Chain A
């Protein structure tokens, strides 16, 4: 299942993405956008954010420095 979205993207980014597609590094713009979103979500996950809050709690109360 997929959802269509409408987004304003800077021309420069679209041009860079188009070059990747033209050179064969990606099949189309959709693939690049999905991959970019997937990477963003994996590095900004809720689980990770929670881990960092707990690290701050421990360091703040009982840490060093």
Chain B
């Protein structure tokens, strides 16, 4: 059952979650958001990995390009981390549009988002959120989480994945 919590209105997505959710046949979990902004560079990267990813009209993806050069703080972080162009553009779009949520699976990009005080989560968060939002049952999500190593290119340490599944079972079982 969906809770009454406020849904993120402005969501920006990096390539990782798009690709990983598609690999897990779970892209539709993003339908819970009014629209998902996909930076131009990210769009091309995701399409290169998953050519039919954007064929669907649902979720509602919007292809966007940055309107200004990156702020000095972001430009510096991008060089220091270092970040790829897609990750930098995702952070830039998130800043420009005042994103409620940035989705990325890249550790450096998440670190940069934290520095820029942008709310950020990844594929795993979206999968687990599906239980809270009533999109999937706990068992369905556990099956997806268990399938991550075989069905997706998302890398999570096996022992940590077991810990995640145990926590889901403990909390919701």
* A and B associate in one complex: yes
The docked-state distance in angstroms from the alpha carbon of A62 to that of B168 is 11
Give the residue of B81, B121, B156 whose beta carbon is less than 8 angstroms from that of A59: B121
The docked-state distance in angstroms from the alpha carbon of A56 to that of B7 is 16
Question: A20-65: which have CB < 8 Å to B?
Answer: 36, 39-40, 43-46, 48-50, 52-53, 55-57, 59-65
Is B7 a contact partner of A39 (Cβ separation < 8 A)?
A: no
* A interface: dominant SS: helix
Nearest-neighbour CB distance to chain A for B58, whole angstroms, equals 20
Q: List residues of chain B with CB within 8 A of the CB of A48.
A: 107, 110-111
The docked-state distance in angstroms from the alpha carbon of A59 to that of B167 is 13
Is A61 a contact partner of B110 (Cβ separation < 8 A)?
A: no
Q: List residues of chain B with CB within 8 A of the CB of A61.
A: 128, 131-132, 167-168, 171-172
Q: List residues of chain A with CB within 8 A of the CB of B8.
A: 65
Is B160 a contact partner of A53 (Cβ separation < 8 A)?
A: yes
Is A39 a contact partner of B82 (Cβ separation < 8 A)?
A: yes
* B interface: dominant SS: helix
Is B168 a contact partner of A49 (Cβ separation < 8 A)?
A: no
Counted as pairs of residues, one from A and one from B, with CB atoms less than 8 Å apart, the total is: 79
Is A53 a contact partner of B82 (Cβ separation < 8 A)?
A: no
Nearest-neighbour CB distance to chain A for B113, whole angstroms, equals 10
Is B107 a contact partner of A60 (Cβ separation < 8 A)?
A: no
Q: List residues of chain B with CB within 8 A of the CB of A49.
A: 107, 156-157
Is A43 a contact partner of B111 (Cβ separation < 8 A)?
A: yes
Is A44 a contact partner of B121 (Cβ separation < 8 A)?
A: no
Most buried by B among A40, A57, A60, A63: A60
Q: List residues of chain A with CB within 8 A of the CB of B122.
A: 52, 56
Q: Answer whether A43 and B107 are a contact pair too, CB < 8 Å, given A65-B7, A65-B100.
A: yes
Q: List residues of chain A with CB within 8 A of the CB of B134.
A: none
The docked-state distance in angstroms from the alpha carbon of A2 to that of B14 is 36
Give the residue of A46, A50, A52 whose beta carbon is less than 8 angstroms from that of B110: A52
- On A, residues with C-beta under 8 Å from B are 36, 39-40, 43-46, 48-50, 52-53, 55-57, 59-65
